[in-house]
Amino acid sequence: MAPFLLSLKLAFWTTVLLLPIGIVIGRVLAYYSFKAKAWVEALVYLPLVLPPTVLGYYLLVALSPNHAIGKSLGAFFDGPLVFSFEGLVLASLLVNIPFAVQPSQQAFASISQDTREAAWVSGLSSWQTFLRIELPQCWLGILCAATLTFAHTLGEFGVVLMVGGNIAGETRTLSIAIYDSVQAFDMGAAGAMTAGLLAFSVIALVVMRVAGLQIHRGR
């Protein structure tokens, strides 16, 4: 039960922290053109194509107490980030950026420029336009981003293992526990955990697909 709860905790914090970032980046990429846009998009979507072990390796090096980044983050968090839950959250944030950004970006892009301009000439400030015009039309895309981020974090294995290791109660998430059970030939436990993860992933994808269809119809 502990690995499942730890995975849920990790997925919750990753989603809560990443969603606002994904909304901001997605909106910027949907509405603004700037010189470095191609580079920003490449960086945002890099975790999709990079093997988790590669990302995990770089994070392990960067977060180690011997590295400047790891040292300063360690000072801030009052302890080294590698092999800790905080380190896992940070790694999950980076790995899941594309899952939070892409649905948000698509949802914002589906709102026409005319609609936003109509809000401005109607007297709405940019902030009011965001809250009263954009968000109500984007919420399905944002729900999609949240679901995808949550589900992907729940099943993340490579980066979690590289950065967090396998410390019971601290960094042993559900997917690592499944791996552990299989290594220990405890196929019953592995099967139960796998079925739970599978069911959750299917539900998440169905929710996402339905939301996607709603966005498409709303255009």
Partner 1 sequence: MDDKAITLQVRLTQTVPIALDVQLQCGKGEMLALTGPSGSGKTTVLRCIAGLHRAANGMVKCNDQVWQDRQGKTFIGAQQRRVGLVFQQYALFPHLNVLQNVAIALSHVKGQDKKTKAMHWLSLTNMSGMHDKRPAQLSGGQRQRVALARALAREPDVLLLDEPFSAVDQLTREKLYRELALIRSNLNIPMILVTHDMLEVQQLADSLCLIHHGKTLQSGSINDVMRKPETARIARLLGHKNIYTANLNANKQLHVLGTRIDIHQQTALGTGPVSVLIEPSAIIMHRNDRPSNGERENPLSTQVNEMVAMGEDWLLKLDVLGTNEQISFRVSRHVAARNNIETNGKLKVSILSEGIHLMPAAQATSPLP
Would you say 88 or 111 has its CB closer to partner 1? 111
Q: How far is the CB of 22 from partner 1 (least distance, A)?
A: 21
Q: Which of 5, 75, 115, 191 binds partner 1 (CB under 8 A)?
A: 115
Residue 44 makes CB contacts below 8 A (sequence gap 6+) with 25, 29, 97, 98, 101
Q: Which of 34, 39, 77, 120 binds partner 1 (CB under 8 A)?
A: 120
Q: Of the listed pieces 91-99, 121-129, 144-152, 207-215, which binds partner 1 according to CB under 8 A?
A: 121-129
SS3 78: coil
Q: In whole angstroms, what is the distance from residue 137 CA to residue 134 CA? A: 5
Count residues binding partner 1 (CB under 8 A).
17
Mask: binding to partner 1, 124-143, rule CB under 8 A, as x and -?
Answer: xx------xx--xx------
Would you say 78 or 114 has its CB closer to partner 1? 114
Task: Find the length of the chain.
Answer: 219
Would you say 83 or 139 has its CB closer to partner 1? 139
Footprint (CB under 8 A) of partner 1, residues 73-112: 112
Would you say 20 or 218 has its CB closer to partner 1? 218
Residue in this structure with the two tokens 């293992």, named with its chain if needed:
161
Would you say 11 or 133 has its CB closer to partner 1? 133
Q: Is 72 in the site for partner 1 (CB under 8 A)?
A: no
Q: How far is the CB of 123 from partner 1 (least distance, A)?
A: 5
Q: Which of 61, 118, 202, 213 binds partner 1 (CB under 8 A)?
A: 118
Give the number of other CB atoms < 10 A from CB of residue 2: 13
Whether the CB-CB separation of 153 and 15 falls below 8 Å is answered with: yes
Q: Of the listed pieces 36-44, 46-54, 122-130, 163-171, which binds partner 1 according to CB under 8 A?
A: 122-130
SS3 39: helix
Q: In whole angstroms, what is the distance from residue 45 CA to residue 64 CA? A: 25
Q: In whole angstroms, what is the distance from residue 38 CA to residue 40 CA? A: 6
Q: With CA atoms as reference, report the closest residue to 166 among 177, 153, 158.
A: 177
Q: In whole angstroms, what is the distance from residue 146 CA to residue 144 CA? A: 5
Q: In whole angstroms, what is the distance from residue 176 CA to residue 167 CA? A: 10
Binding site for partner 1 (CB under 8 A): 112, 114-115, 117-125, 132-133, 136-137, 218
